[in-house]
Amino acid sequence: MRASPGSGPIIPKVKREPEILGLVGDPSLNRDSGGSVRFGDRVLWTYRDTQLCNHNGSVNMLPIITSTASWSDYDVNGGPKLEPVAQSNRMKSVVLRQYGKNSHSESFFPSPGRHLCASPAGNRDDGTRIALWPNQPPLVTSETSDGNITAYTWVPQCHINSNLGVETENPATILYKTEHRPSRLHSRDSLPKTTVVHEHFWKQGEIAYGAYGTLLHNNYIYLWGQWDHKTSLARVPPSHVENRDAYEYWVHGQWTRSMPRLGSSEGIEIPHANAGGQGTYYFSHHWNSFVWIGGDIFPGAETYICTAPEPQGPWTQAVQFYKGPIGNHALGAYSIQAHPALVSPNSTKNEMYITYTKNDEAEHGDIAGYTTPLVYVEFE
């Protein structure tokens, strides 16, 4: 049922228990934290740390690649092209197959250079690491009639030590541009090219707008950023992404060109805009509402949803609607994301696909495994 403007807060309810369909994956890759975006007639996926798998399923310790990408296909109805479940245990059966040729020496979101960190893992000479981990997939800003696509991603220069402890608070953020030119692809395994636009688009100590969430709606890109477990919002026309002077910021209930400083953060928090963990913002035509789906503070597979009539709110308190099975290794589960790109444009259902990263002890070899369960949700 579609909501009408002014009908009050939307409190989503599931129509039935969400269903685990199986796994999303490329069996040759062991990786975590996958996000998706519609790229023409296919889906582009981006992931964080990636390791290579052997034919028996064991995982090679090296190389570690800080980000990789893959394609998946649509079926004739515009939904994900699902394969039959091959095993009785859906958590071990790939039903949405990914493909694509990744470099083993450079990440999909490449290092700006050796002065920052070495490729492909982001290692530094002092033993620390710049983990260029995408929290969100690329945001498409333009698509031409012949299929040329331009997209952008904001990736913080996450500076960590060997214990995953943070070395640099509020690090600088890199702006990346991903360009897809179908006429130049050598095969369907060829992936789009990603380049660095600006190594310090957001400087150290500034809010990393766009790193936490992005959404293109009504000729504006909305960019959510997090700091100290709080959320702030900026916006920019899609044709001006690379121009910092074109950005506006939501401060004290209005849009302003003056970028707020973290030291004087009053009036910039968007209350209840998420449950604290990784997630996805999108616009629901069924609810005529902005939606966030994701997790709470890492780790776990508890999945929450909240809604708002405008990107700046007011947002409803996030409510849990699902909890997925977790793995038996240290982290268990994390990185919950929604996938509007998988929903058919022709669908009349209020539906969504979600994924999360499941972390399990090794079945073959010594390296723990990471899988991506695919869950189908239908809302009332």
Q: Which domains does the chain have, with CATH numbers?
A: 19-378 (2.115.10.20)
pLDDT at 258: 95
Mean pLDDT of 220-229: 96
Tens of pLDDT, residue by residue over 41-81, are 999 999 999 999 999 999 999 999 999 999 999 999 999 99
Tens of pLDDT, residue by residue over 177-200, are 999 999 888 899 999 999 999 999
Does residue 4 register a pLDDT over 70? Answer: no
Distance of CA 158 to the CA centre of its chain: 16
Gap between the Cα atoms of 233 and 255, Å rounded: 10
Residue pointed to by tokens 């708002």 = 308
Tens of pLDDT, residue by residue over 89-98, are 999 999 999 9
pLDDT at 2: 47
90: helix, coil or strand? helix
Does residue 265 register a pLDDT over 90? Answer: no
Gap between the Cα atoms of 46 and 178, Å rounded: 11
Residue type, 263: G
DSSP track, 304-340: EEEEESSTT-PPPPPEEEEEPPP-SSSS-EEEEEE-G
Percent of the chain residues past pLDDT 90, beyond the cut = 92
Tens of pLDDT, residue by residue over 314-362, are 999 999 999 999 999 989 999 999 999 999 999 999 999 999 999 999 9
- Tokens representing residue 113 in the block: 């250079």
pLDDT at 264: 72
How many Å from the N-terminal Cα to the C-terminal Cα in the chain? 7
pLDDT at 7: 60
Is the pTM here over 0.75, yes or no?
yes
